[in-house]
Amino acid sequence: MKRNTHDVLQDLRDGRISLEEAEQYFRRQPFEEMGIAKIDTHRQLRSGFPEVIFCSGKADEHLLEVFGFIYEQNGEVLGTRASKAQYEMIAEVYPEAVYDEVSHIIHIGGSQKKQEGLIAVCTAGTADIAVAEEAAQTAEYFGSKVERIYDVGVSGIHRLFARLETIQKANCCIAIAGMEGALGSVIGGLVDKPVIAVPTSVGYGANLKGISALLTMINSCANGIAVVNIDNGYGAGYMATQINRLAVRGGVNG
């Protein structure tokens, strides 16, 4: 397995490698040229998050090559929007790979990380759970503690109020909704923390595959709401983790 930046500095401090060997590591270009892809090997150093693979649409041989390289480089790897067939292909080579059929996430590693802070992931309905699980499992992979609060949409708003204390304690809330997408506005008016609204493509014809929910969310009169793309649970989980990390560093719910 290749060493990351922390490992190189640790080895240098402990005398396991020479100064010249450490210099050679840092002279490397900040990406690995693979022909089919350029792997951003310094992304975690810059942003705090390693490169994640969007699996959908990739040829099997390309996905396997990229997946394997990142795993060997980092000792862990996360892929989103993976099909079961893609997982089965990867698992033949990497049997330690784990797949979740709800979120379509495939990963190796991440479970050993300490989960800190608190993110509340809320859905309007049960049909939104696939997107919610993509958000929740992304955040957990990156080290955030997640509380799932599902099926608390506005058609039965008393269900939301029953979990409000937990939602208000979170450092960040993800509100996931299809249909008209009103959940983000409701939660935004009840909490003093950032809300990330995720429109989903769940709904009947005039939902327009998520556009109606998207328009509701970006036109919300509640403050403190950011909106990601339709069905983009990964983007919400990533952003929520950034917010949660800031809160943990500041000593809030850490």
Mean pLDDT is highest, among 12-21, 34-43, 181-190, 245-254, for 181-190
In 3-state terms the chain splits into helix, strand, coil percentages (rounded to 5) of 45, 20, 35
H-state helical runs in 14-83? 19-27, 43-47, 60-74
Cα dihedral: 58, 61, 63, 67 (round 10): -170
How much is the pLDDT for 14?
A: 85
Contacts of 110 (CB under 8 A, 6+ apart): 76, 78, 140, 141, 142
pLDDT, tens digit, for every residue of 171-198?
A: 999 999 999 999 999 999 999 999 999 9
Amino acid, single-letter form, for residue 131: V
Per-residue confidence band for 252, with pLDDT thresholds at 50, 70 and 90: low
More confident position, 41 or 13? 13
What residues does each domain of the chain span?
31-108, 116-249
How much is the pLDDT for 254?
A: 61
Per-residue confidence band for 152, with pLDDT thresholds at 50, 70 and 90: very high
Domain 116-249, CATH 3.90.380.10 — does that match? Answer: no
> Residue 153 belongs to what H/E stretch?
none
Per-residue confidence band for 168, with pLDDT thresholds at 50, 70 and 90: very high
Structure tokens at 136: 């929740």
How much is the pLDDT for 204?
A: 93
How much is the pLDDT for 1?
A: 43
**pLDDT (mean) for 30-48:** 66
Q: To the nearest whole number, what is the mean pLDDT of the chain?
A: 88
How much is the pLDDT for 13?
A: 86
pLDDT, tens digit, for every residue of 223-232?
A: 999 999 999 9
Helix or strand or coil: residue 172? strand
More confident position, 31 or 192? 192
**pLDDT (mean) for 120-137:** 96
Cβ-based neighbour number of residue 254 at 10 Å: 14
**pLDDT (mean) for 11-36:** 73
